[in-house]
Structures are given as structure tokens and as C-alpha cells.
Amino acid sequence: MTTVGVLGGTGPAGRGVAIRLASAGYDVILGSRDELRAGVTAAALVPRGPGVVRGATNEVAADCDLVIVATPYDSAVATVKALKSALAGKIVISMVNALAKEGREMVPLYPARGSMAAQLAFALPESTIVGAFHHLPASDMEDLDSDLDADVVIFSDDAPARDVVAALVNEMPGLRAIIAGSMSLASAIEAFTAVCISVNIRHKAHSYVKLAGLPE
């Protein structure tokens, strides 16, 4: 079974993805700069399924078969650069959004290469970057009793890697994978997260993305 590492896994985004991956049967390493914090955080996550979540350093998480980047946008590039050799030859999923809060709204920021996924791809030329999980409300992800029924929009320039990530997402409870296309969509997909969060702030809601009209 594939092992999955989450860099910056102690935050809400990483925890939510980790518990649903473990509920799907994956062994997940919750990575952190602080091994103790990772252990305490992982111990509080109780998946419903055969998988487990363990806490460790980001270095240990980067040794997993597949790795998810779940740090804030302004530390994502430095975090992966330090782990470049461990991440070489692997699929690295970016769920990183570059956003800023302005009043009651989130606004998208535009990183130098147009998207955080493109920045990670530039920093990790020997890895395969796939974008996924950007629009998910972390609190509903972490709460396995929430009625989450969300779509995960996936993009990458590598079609087989997109398929691997889509298969993984479809195993996670409450999620459906939608392959959108190539890395050229990264900027729009990441920026749309600002719309999702702004809607949730304005309407005091936990809405999520669900695309209508697709064949089953």
C-alpha cells in the first residue's frame, strides 16, 4: 500500500486530508518542523478505516511514496527545496493557495510563476507536481461526521500522475475526483479558493465545490 506524507501536516488542511486518507486505508505520516507536535496532533486523529496517521518530521514525511504539501504559501517553496532529493521521482501534490485577507474577503495573490503549483514545479524539477484539494473546507474534512460530499479539482501536466491522484481521491470518504486538465489551469483553480472562502465568510457557511452535469 502506498504511504502518504503530508508536509506541514499539523495544520487544519493537512489534518483533514490525513484523516480521510487513513480512513481510506492509507498509512499517513503527518510531517512537521516539530516531531513532538506532529505526534500529539496525529494521536488526536481517529480515522475510520484500516489506515493510520503517525506524526514525524517533514523529512520522514518526505520519504513516503507520495507527498502532499500543506504548508502556508509563503513557506512552501523553502520547505520542499530542503527536501528536494527525497522528493525526486515522486508525485508531489500541492494543495497550497496564495491568499491574503482583506476585510471580510480573501483575495488571491499571484506568485511569480503564476501559481504555487508552478513555483513548486520549478523548485522540484525531478518531481511530478499535481494540484488537488485546494477548495476543501478543512474543518469539514477533519470531521468524519460532516456530510461532506465535495469535488476535488485536479490538474497536472502529467496525465498518469493525475490519474494516480484521482484514484486516491476517489477512495477518500466524501470526495469525488474531477480531473480538470493541465498546469495551465493552476492559477485559476488556486485563485478560485479565494471565492470559496469569501462566500463562506459572507454567508457564515461551510460550502464546498460540487460540479453539476458530469457523467457518473
Binding interface with ligand NAP (CB under 6 A) = 8, 10-14, 32-34, 37, 70-73, 75, 79, 95-97, 133-134, 136-138
Residue 88 Cβ vs ligand NAP, minimum distance, rounded to whole Å: 20
Residue 154 CA to residue 163 CA, distance in Å, equals 9
Q: Which is nearer to ligand NAP, 56 or 161 (CB)?
A: 56
Task: Write down the least CB distance from residue 57 to ligand NAP, Å.
Answer: 9
User: Are the CB atoms for 190 and 131 separated by under 8 Å?
Assistant: yes
C-alpha 124/C-alpha 118 separation (Å) is: 10
Residue among 86 and 96 whose Cβ is closer to ligand NAP: 96
Residue with smaller CB distance to ligand NAP, 136 or 160? 136
- Asked if residues 178 and 152 have their Cβ atoms less than 8 Å apart, the reply is yes
Instruction: State the nearest-atom distance from the C-beta of 52 to ligand NAP, in Å.
Output: 19
| 30 φ, ψ (degrees, to nearest 5) | -85, 110
Nearer to ligand NAP, 37 or 159 (CB): 37
Q: How far apart are CA 128 and CA 146, in angstroms?
A: 32
Shortest Cβ 187–ligand NAP spacing (Å)? 14
Q: How far is the CB of 3 from ligand NAP (least distance, A)?
A: 19
Nearer to ligand NAP, 39 or 181 (CB): 39
196-200's contacts with Cβ under 8 Å and 24+ in sequence apart are: 196/135, 196/137, 197/99, 197/106, 198/104, 198/105, 198/106, 200/137
